[in-house]
Amino acid sequence: MIKKYFFKDFEKTEWDLFLSKNYTDNLLFSYDIIRYEQEYYKSINESYYIKHLDEIALVKIYKSEAKTYFSQIFFSDKTTYNLNILKNISKQVLIDLNNSEELMCLKEYCHSEKSDVFYSYLRESFLLNPIFELWADITKSKSELWGNLRSSYRNLIKKNHDKFEIKFPENFNIDLYKQLHYEVSGRITRSNLTWEYQERMFNDRKLIVCEAYYEKNLTSYSFFNLNNKTAQYSISVSQRELQSKLPSAHIIIWESILKLKSLGIHDFYIGFGRDLNKPKTKVDKIFLFKSGFTNKLKKSILIEKENDEFFQTGVFK
């Protein structure tokens, strides 16, 4: 018998305990990140996990007035599996997908043989587009990590590093971050609650901030989510005018890789995107930039009802 358990019915401690028992790498499904994403997308959170005998599949779902965003499906760590169980779970998720009038995308976080069964049920109803996940194995030595950077990035870092003061603050300077974000975007695009979630993650040591100062003024910063062994590149904010003349993003990511390595992180998830060789849209160009830091690519699948405008604009609507 298939049972469905909704995220909204769990307390933080209970949810994170469930994750730790069933998943080694569970960063993107942690309680705080799901709550943050729910608020960021201005949506109702209907994420859940399905349990059928000894198999579990997690699904993140956010519903706004305009869209239903199926984010990721994540099968359990269990390497041996029963094919019929996977088929039953896949059919149930497919029912949920078909019941949605609109679908932004569903990207599996960690592709596996199990998901091949799942995808086989979707081919007639959905577009299955190959994508790449960008990862960096930061257990490598500093010299190996440096050598893995795109050569133009190494040149920029060496050229501009001493012009910036890089800090990893001990306090979350929420007002400072919000102010720079407002100055760059020209409007308020995020609720106060999203900032408060990230401040909570920082205080719980689940997020670090890297700040770049130019002439003693904060000109750029980035947030990185983390758990015991995995980190995720979350958000970045930079003064555009200065970045066009004196880019600091390369320096921030490089210094953050070294910081995460010192914290015992093994794998750094940088992002995902489509064809590296044909950067046409804003999202494609961001993906191309991020790919200069990776030393490991993972194949995954983007599932859509139609080619989504997210890849044309980079904005969830």
Q: Give me the CATH topology for the region 139-265.
A: Aminopeptidase (3.40.630)
**Cα 40 from Cα 84, distance rounded (Å):** 37
**CATH number for the segment(s) 2-130+300-313:** 3.40.630
HSE at residue 176, side-chain half, CA atoms within 13 A, is 14
Report which residue type is found at 68: T
Q: How far is CA 313 from the centre of its chain?
A: 18
Q: How far is CA 68 from CA 26, 63, 101, 136, 166, in A?
A: 23, 4, 8, 31, 39
pLDDT tens series, the chain, 317 aa: 899 999 999 999 999 999 988 888 788 889 999 999 899 888 889 899 999 988 998 988 888 777 777 767 888 888 788 889 988 888 888 887 777 666 556 665 556 677 778 778 777 777 777 788 899 999 999 999 999 999 999 999 999 999 999 999 999 999 999 999 999 999 888 999 999 999 999 999 999 999 999 999 999 999 999 988 999 999 999 998 898 889 999 999 999 999 999 999 999 999 887 766 666 677 778 888 999 999 998 877 777 766 555 444 333 33
**Cα 100 from Cα 37, distance rounded (Å):** 19
Q: SS3 of 107, please? A: strand
In eight-state DSSP terms, residue 293 is T
The separation between the first and the last C-alpha atoms of the chain, rounded to the nearest angstrom, is 36
Task: Write out the two tokens for 10.
Answer: 């769990």
Q: What is the pTM of this model?
A: 0.88
- The boundaries of every CATH 3.40.630.30 domain in the chain are 139-265
Q: What is the per-residue DSSP string for 119-143?
A: HHTTTTTSEEEEEEEEEEETTS-HH
